[in-house]
Amino acid sequence: MNAAAPHSPRTLVTGVIGSDTHIVGNRILSMALEKAGYKVVTLGALTPAAAFVKSAVETAADGIMISSLYGQGELDCRGFRELCIEAGLADILIYVGGNLVVGKQPWGEVEHRFLDMGFDRAFPPGTRTDEIITALDRDFKARADATRSPGTAKP
């Protein structure tokens, strides 16, 4: 590779988890991510958790972005970080967003549950794509800065 060549774009795997068929928001997000310079591997609707992980391994993805709108996201996402760890993706960035639970629940409580499950970020329904892209850019920069900082090397 030519040293003057730009860095290759970060790869993100996106899709709608479980038995959910709500794909429009996920497609809008994928288009916005591509416009922002990300390489997007779109899995579509009705995607099992293991398929996200398999695709991330196969494409050497930098992140996984899971969408769910039908309210069963909490069930569908249980154990997701563990699947990533088992596949050798312990440090992969994982985001989740949408209508993740059944019924009206305070967003702060919902978000906390998903962070406790190992997600790096959880977004409520109606989150704007620019907010997600800003968070991604910030999280990838923070990870890159941590790798370059002395004393942060992992054993």
Q: How far is C-alpha 60 from the geometric centre of its chain's CA atoms?
A: 14
Q: What percent of the chain is helix, strand and coil (3-state, nearest 5)?
A: 40, 15, 40
DSSP label of 9: P
The answer to the question of residue 27 being in a domain is yes
pLDDT at 5 over 90: no
Catalytic pick from 20, 62, 76, 120?
20
- Residues 40 and 14 sit within 8 Å (Cβ to Cβ): yes
The answer to the question of residue 155 being in a domain is no
pLDDT at 64 over 90: yes
The answer to the question of residue 16 being in a domain is yes
22 is catalytic: yes
Q: What is the CATH number of the domain that holds 30?
A: 3.40.50.280
The answer to the question of residue 2 being in a domain is no
Residue 147, pLDDT score: 81
The answer to the question of residue 88 being in a domain is yes
Summarised one tens digit per residue, pLDDT across range 83-128 is 999 999 999 999 999 999 999 999 999 999 999 999 999 999 999 9
The answer to the question of residue 154 being in a domain is no
pLDDT at 70 over 50: yes
Catalytic pick from 7, 22, 116, 137?
22
> What total of structural domains would you count in the chain?
1
112 is catalytic: no
Residue 44 structural domain: 11-148
The answer to the question of residue 135 being in a domain is yes
Q: How far apart are CA 78 and CA 64, in angstroms?
A: 15
The answer to the question of residue 86 being in a domain is yes
Is the whole-model pTM more than 0.85?
yes
Place of tokens 């391994």: 57
